[in-house]
Amino acid sequence: MTYPIQKTDEQWQADLQARGAEPRAFEVTRRAATERPFTGKYEAHWADGSYHCICCGAKLFDSGTKFDAGCGWPSFSQAVPGAIREIRDTSHGMVRTETVCAQCGAHLGHVFPDGPAPTGLRYCMNSASLDFEPPAT
């Protein structure tokens, strides 16, 4: 799959370092690793603002769609329209739907059909894939 933003691994690593990303961000975003539950910096983060792709800065979620799913990862009921691509994931003996940034292909997490109304969706994201921006003042 191709994405509007394409870079080499070395360029992604340099960009992530420049953005102050956490050490595992490259493995999570470019290699589809998963952070351990209840360890991510945004799992219990409830400030107003928006969540963006740590790799390219694309806006992914508004804080008003974040909810406590009790799963150990930041969870959202709705993504910004067009911000995320969904890919069938059959790894680890399961069938899931992987979510990636529509702009750069960064692995974000997975989406499940067990979220709250009105969408019924739970976007279960890795904190290492996200960057938070408070509202503009």
Eight-class DSSP state of 81: T
**Whether the predicted pLDDT of 1 surpasses 90:** no
Residue 104 is among the residues annotated as catalytic for this protein: no
pTM over 0.85: yes
pLDDT at 31 over 90: yes
- In this prediction, residue 136 carries a pLDDT of 84
Distance from C-alpha of 82 to C-alpha of 75, rounded to nearest angstrom: 18
pLDDT digits (tens, 9 = 90+) for 79-124: 999 999 999 988 888 889 999 999 999 999 999 999 999 999 999 9
| Cα gap 7→12, rounded to integer Å | 6
In which band, very low, low, confident or very high, does the pLDDT at 8 lie, cut at 50, 70 and 90?
Answer: very high
Phi, psi of 111 (to 5 degrees): -120, 135
Phi, psi of 85 (to 5 degrees): -105, 145
